[in-house]
Structure 1
Amino acid sequence: MKGYKIEGDEVVFTFNKNDYKKVSHDAFGIAEDFKDFDIENVVVSGNFNNWSKDKWYMKKIDNENYELRKKLTDFSDDFSWEFKFVINNNFWAEPSKKDPNIIQATKDGTHLNVYNLKMYTGAYPDKNGNVRFRLRGYENAKNVVLSGTFNRWNESIFKMYKITNGWEIILKLDPGNYEYKFIVDGKWMEDPSNPDKVTNEFGEYNSHINVQRRVTFKLNAFPDAKNVILTGSFNNWNETKYRMTKVNNTWTFSLVMSGGKHHYKFIVDNKWITDPDNSVREYDDQGNINSVCMVK
């Protein structure tokens, strides 16, 4: 993707001055050719930092390249962000319309004559990702794209690559429920290998996937207890099903969970308690206080 890459738990913003031909200014639109500029500094500006021109300064790597590293945890739960590079705290580097992650800029609901780059933090291609999308056949297709709720139904950014007897892309996806389709040479289609489908707003169907994550609950107390049960909203508060195991005086239980917020408690020798190591608690509809687990 133009302007950024994701390495492990970091977003790496990358700027190369040879990639940009024009710059613009808030006051008078397109200003002049980028090659005529003497660069004093480069700043990353986007809706993740309220489009600030003087906060996220990039590090100069050489005469042409700048870089800024940020933790994925520096961003909220939104899946996508718009951003741009600011030169000398005043001029916006204008990306090419040919860039795959390009979107027309808007202000107060009105489209502007400039464009922003788009970044995805909750869903992005990664060969070590956790979800593999595969479309069998269509060997003669020229272009196959994966589009869904995880990329705001973008029609170009997640291009699939050819494999034997089909097409494939591997994404790193946060836990949650997603709808998606394949676009084969401009034609939208459901995933023929996935029977899980939901009706969309056009009276047609989207393929559906529920991405889950393994979570381990731990109770670092009550080493002398005889029986400890994990219970919560994820198992309808069952009082017998999830029997915890004691390992080195710590009670543990692991399960695969869907994304979102879950309430839970421990039952220690028939006594219900909240998690003493988790300060995040909420009342439920019956006025009970429960511990909270966020899966994301």
Structure 2
Amino acid sequence: MKKLLYHIAIFACSLMSSLSFSQNDEIKGYRIDGNDVVFTFDKNDYEKATKDNFGDVIDFDDLDIKNVVVSGEFNNWSKNKWQMTKISDNKYELRKHLSDFTDDFSWEFKFVINNTYWAEPSKDIKNKVDAKDRNGSQLHVYNLRMFTAKPDENGNSCFKLNGFKNAKKVVLSGTFNRWDENVFRMNKTPDGWELTLQLKPGDYEYKFIVDGNWMEDPNNPAKKTNEYNGYNSLISIKVPFTFLLKGYENAKEILLAGDFTDWADNAIKMKKTTTGWTCTTLLSGGKHHYKFIVDGNWMLDPNNSVQEYDGKGNVNSVCMVR
């Protein structure tokens, strides 16, 4: 039986306090603009730079900046590939589509000056994280962390925790931010605490941290056991996805079946159009296997060349939702 996932529909939270998104003022290095990640480098945000293998610390004022590169986990820490565009005397930008990143929901990165010097984040930047080498040893400097999730008062996922009015700080933490314990600080309301995020389609786990104490969402029945013998709450963010099958004008009935319908058990009846058949359904993020059932006969999508075996010897059509 499928595990029940708690589906958060698209809606806006009630009006936030004046502190609503002040936390974003401390997040440096990037912003989410629609379906794009915009990396932003401002020379005024940095005081020091370092060089590989030497440990030399250089004052930023001593650098003659000729180019700035975004380097991170998403491009194997390349010092050359993702060169930024200069937009003013001190600022550089680089725009990348969210589809340029895999399904990971957070990434570590830094800025590289002149393909040589690493711009070192200061301690007061909210989205900093301790930098480590490949063996997990501390490097005693910081990386920046980018989250594909972002606080947005018009976002698609509103998290609420009622009560706890005497709490000093409540943080939302989950797989969408690698369980970060600081960045997504919730806002106090007359009823408790809340925060609205814009999330990519997908299935997520999350918890609340109330004054340092972790707890699952008491108003969400969907949960799973974690490695600490406790529970994580679950949500599923879905988006409309349209399937099309051209032709087959003489067919009496065509069904859409896939891993999202338990295959034939809950297959969806498609609608006939002037050019064929269509069906729109809500899908979570990631990869989905599917087929059409034309008057009882199973068939692959003839207009989709992406196919995979399902581990049982069957070949299915594949669609991706991002």
1:117 to 144, 148, 169: 144
Where is the strand percentage greater, Structure 1 or Structure 2?
A: 1
Q: Counterpart of 1:166 in structure 2: which amino acid?
A: G
Match of 2:190? 164
Greater CA drift, 190-199 or 60-69: 190-199
Post-superposition offset of 1:219: 0.7
Q: How many residues align?
A: 295
Q: Is the 1:262–1:293 Cα contact (8 Å) retained in structure 2?
A: yes
The within-5 A match list for 1:144-163 is 144-163=170-189
Distance 2:141 2:310 in 1: 48
The reply to whether residue 52 of structure 1 matches residue 75 of structure 2 is no
User: What is the alpha-carbon distance in structure 2 between the residues aligned to residue 50 and residue 240 of structure 1?
Assistant: 42
The aligned amino acid for 2:51 is H
Larger RCO (CA within 8 A; separation ≥ 6): 2
Is this contact kept in 2: 1:22–1:30, CA < 8 A? no
Q: Shift of the alpha carbon at 1:180?
A: 1.2
**After the TM superposition, which residues 214-253 of structure 1 pair with which residues of structure 2 at under 5 Å, given as runs?**
214-238=240-264, 241-253=267-279
CA distance in 2, matches of 1:166, 1:86: 42
- The normalised TM-score by structure 2 is 0.85
Question: Identity of counterpart residues, as a percentage?
Answer: 59
Correspondent of 2:290 among 261, 264, 267 = 264
Residue from 176, 201, 212 that aligns with 1:186: 212
Partner of 2:305: 279
Report the secondary structure of 1:29's partner residue: coil
Q: Is the 8 A contact 2:37 2:96 kept in 1?
A: yes
> How far 1:43 sits from its partner (Å)?
1.1
Runs of 5+ consecutive residues of structure 1 not aligned to the other structure: none
Displacement of 1:225 after TM fit? 2.3
Q: Give RMSD over aligned pairs.
A: 2.0
Residue from 115, 119, 134 that aligns with 1:108: 134
Name the residue aligned to 2:109. 83
Taking structure 1 as the reference length, the TM-score comes to 0.92
Residues 23-79 of structure 1: CA distance to partner in whole angstroms, max 9, x if unpaired?
111132242221222212111111211211122121111112111111111112222
Deviations 1:76-117, CA, capped at 9 Å, x for gaps: 222211111111211111001221111111112121111100
Is the CA contact (8 Å cut-off) linking 1:41 and 1:58 kept in structure 2? yes
**What is the CA-CA distance between 1:215 and the residue it aligns to?**
2.0
Any stretches of 5+ residues in structure 2 without a counterpart?
1-26
